[in-house]
Structure 1
Amino acid sequence: MNLTELYYKLPKKIRYSERFILFCIKLAKPFHKKKTHEKEINYTLNYLFKSSDVKIEGTLRNIQLLYAELLRFIDNICKKYNLDYCLAYGTLLGAIRHDGFIPWDDDCDIIMIRNDYNKLIEVLPSEINKHKFLKENIGLTKLVGFRENYFNNVKTLYDEELGHDVYFHDYNKAPKQFDSKYNEKLPNLCKSLFLQIGWLKPMVRLDIFPYDYIEEKSLNHYDKHYRPAKVSFRNFFADDDFSYEKEFNKHFDKLGLTLEKTKYVGEGIDGSDEYVGSYDSSMFFPVKTHKFEGYDLKCPNKSEELLKRWYGESYMSIPQAIVMHGYSEYNSRFFDSIEDMNESFKLAINELKKINDEFE
């Protein structure tokens, strides 16, 4: 029996104990390491992309252009309701290094502070439902239970009819080391608790991560206990008696988070897997605009400082390790040919661009 199997055989009281999780994290040590990507530079790609006008074409480019219009749609809604957001992680890196997507990127991330994030969740369905084309093709997901979506008046991004739920949560892909009775639940932990908006066919999904203000007196406690709190929250999420509101509020209070503006911010426990501790809020606010795929979109106040913290001092260089999510290959299963798939992308891009151009 390995340690993972042993963990899942422990009583719930121990498994969800933040003190026990913190002990395990300290024992493992890698969880406490700063998550940067200080990789050896790929000098060939570095020269190619910095010295030549390399253009990405085909399906990958169509994925990026559809993402760009989804970003514009969110940007338009945020302008309408006076909400702030900013590009984040690899999307921000693309903005600063390439004035658009990282050439091989097929993912898209933004960050919002909790109040604005909650407001966006409130208004998104009505803005989507104003357009028949969007209503038929956009999916929204924010899970509040094991299989429970917060939204009930729009389509879900994990569409069962299209098979998206199977692809992202294939029970047969559960790690072999887990006891069989956990195989049914474990893959679903990959389902995202944060807000996602995406196109259903062809499929892309934009991640929207919540950030929270931290009370100054709780800063050290947050930095120490955020990771075990997130692990506990996500583990408990898979249980049948999980109550999203109850558990979220408990961790929110214990970590010293607040909806009131303070000097510090940090990733919400329902956010991404990134974790580098707390931030001075001046790194994010006031937001600035930066050209991204030809559009003025919002970026953090101190983008370069954040990118150094996330990816290391050499963030402006192309690394050896390049990660993709495989959406080109995934989308090909829905179409008879590459030509059909790219025509579907172009239709979605053009229709969404028209809606964005005429957005009221």
Structure 2
Amino acid sequence: MAIKLTKEETRKKLLDMAVLITDLLDENDIPYILVYGTLLGAVRHKGFIPWDDDFDIAIPARYQYKLNKIFTSLSGCNFYSQKNHNYYDWVMRVSDQKTKVDAKETEWELYNHTMINNDLGLCIDIYPFYIRPQNRFARLLHSFFTKSSAYLHKLSFVLKSKFIKSIACNLERLRAVNFQGSYYTNAGKIYYGKQLFDDLKTCNFDGFNFKIPNNPEDFLVKRYGDWEKIPTKEEIQQAVHYEDVYWR
């Protein structure tokens, strides 16, 4: 019978993984920041949001292909990116091998339904932040690469074609070129400014130091609006990712 992790065990596992990953990013000169619920927790709660059960990191998209090299030998973890033939989500994930999760059937879980029950453990989510170019011609190119790669990724999923998937990944590389402009992700067209990964600050998160944007409040306002407001019980329930977490 599988043994369920307590909330404290879940968070300790996530923090251990986050420290391992961010240390590797620092060693390989890859800038990163805490984002989304993890950044909100860092600023508002000085650690995890009381009901949160994941850990969110962002890097500039041009570095995401380097992760395929430096994360291949992560001890006790699996690394998932669009380079994996059976993985189609745009968010990269480092998944713990010693745990397994009962995840809610959100869109990405349905999209990757072949993985969820067998492969996925507690995850650190790594979001590639792309740049929307200022130059009009560069913006048109960027839009073409974005739409083309998205279409081909979906087509490769339907046809289970590694060849089409490789073309989509090459187009993603072109999309990730270091243009001059504002950062954004596929999680909504919110533009965070070209200095997002410059002059980073360090914050204490449940006893560990991680990097955050120089102006985290500006990021949170753009993402959440009134980020200091505590959500309702219904909103909290919607924000929980996992039904349960177990040791394998």
Same fold, judged at TM 0.5 (above): yes
Q: Deviations over 1:99-134 (max 9, x none)?
A: 1110110011100112333223311224x3xxxxx3
Find the partner of 2:182 among 241, 250, 264: 264
Aligned twin of 2:151: 232
Q: 1:139 aligns with which of 72, 78, 101?
A: 78
Q: 1-side partners of 2:106 and 2:27: how far apart?
A: 43
Structure 2 SS opposite 1:304: helix
1:175-230 Cα deviation digits (max 9, x unpaired): 9xxxxxxxxxx9344679xxxxxxx89x3111111122343214765897798567
Distance 1:90 1:274 in 2: 13
Residue pairs, 1:262-301, within 5 angstroms: 262-267=180-185, 274-301=187-214
1:119 equivalent in structure 2: 66
**Distance across 2 between alignment mates of 1:103 and 1:158:** 22
What TM-score, normalized by structure 1, do the two folds share? 0.53
SS in 2 for 1:206: strand
CA contact (8 A) 2:80 2:87 kept: no
SS of 2:135's equivalent in the other structure is helix
Structure 2: how far apart are the matches of 1:258 and 1:209? 13
Cα distance change, pair 299–265 in 1 and its aligned pair in 2 (3 A)? same
Whichever structure has more helix as a proportion of its residues is 1
**Distance between the aligned counterparts of 2:113 and 2:223, measured in 1?**
22
Deviation at 1:307, TM superposition (A): 0.7
Is the 1:215–1:258 contact (alpha carbons within 8 Å) kept by the matching residues of 2?
A: no
Aligned sequence identity (%): 21
- Counterparts of 1:319-358 in structure 2, within 5 Å, are 319-320=231-232, 321-322=235-236, 323-326=239-242, 329-331=244-246, 334=248
Q: Which residue in the other structure is 1:102 paired with?
A: 49
SS in 1 for 2:204: strand
What is the deviation of 1:234?
A: 4.3
For 2:142 and 2:192, the matched residues in 1 are separated by 10
Q: Distance in 1 between matches of 2:24 and 2:203?
A: 18
1:91 aligned counterpart, secondary structure: helix
Alpha carbons of 1:143 and 1:114: their partners in 2 closer, same or farther (altered >3 Å)?
closer
Q: 1:91 to 1:190 in 2, by over 3 A?
A: farther
Whether the aligned pair in 2 keeps the contact of 1:85 and 1:113 (CA below 8 Å) is: yes
1:146–1:188 CA contact under 8 A, matched in 2 = no
- Aligned counterparts of 1:174 and 1:317: Cα–Cα separation in 2: 25
Q: Does 1:241 align with 2:241?
A: no
Q: Runs of 5+ in structure 2 lacking a partner?
A: 89-93
Residue 80 (1) aligns with residue 27 (2)? yes
In the alignment, the residues of structure 2 paired with residue 117 and residue 330 of structure 1 have an alpha-carbon distance, to the nearest angstrom, of 28
Q: Aligned pair in 2 of structure 1 residues 306, 275: CA closer, same or farther (>3 Å)?
A: same
Is the Cα–Cα contact under 8 Å of residues 89 and 310 in structure 1 kept in the other structure?
Answer: yes
Unaligned runs of 5+ in 1: 1-57, 129-133, 150-155, 176-185, 193-199, 268-272, 335-360
In 2: Cα distance, 1:145 partner to 1:125 partner: 11
Query: RMSD in angstroms over aligned alpha carbons?
Result: 3.8
Shift of 1:147: 2.1
Q: 2: CA distance between counterparts of 1:100 and 1:174?
A: 25
TM-score (ref. length: structure 2): 0.74
2:221 partner amino acid: K
- Output the CA distance in 1 between the equivalents of 2:129 and 2:207: 27
Distance 1:233 1:147, change over 3 A: same
Determine whether 1:315 maps to 2:234: no
Who is 2:216 aligned against? 303
- Matched to 2:81, the amino acid is K
Q: Which moved more, 1:220-229 or 1:239-248?
A: 220-229
Three-state SS of the structure 1 residue aligned to 2:214 is coil
Distance 1:259 1:67 in 2: 31
SS of the residue 2:203 aligns to:
strand
> How far off its partner does 1:67 sit?
0.9
Output the CA distance in 2 between the equivalents of 1:115 and 1:288: 21
Q: Which amino acid aligns with 1:140?
A: F
CA displacement 1:277-320 (0-9 Å, x = unmatched)? 433121342322111111110112221111111111x2012111
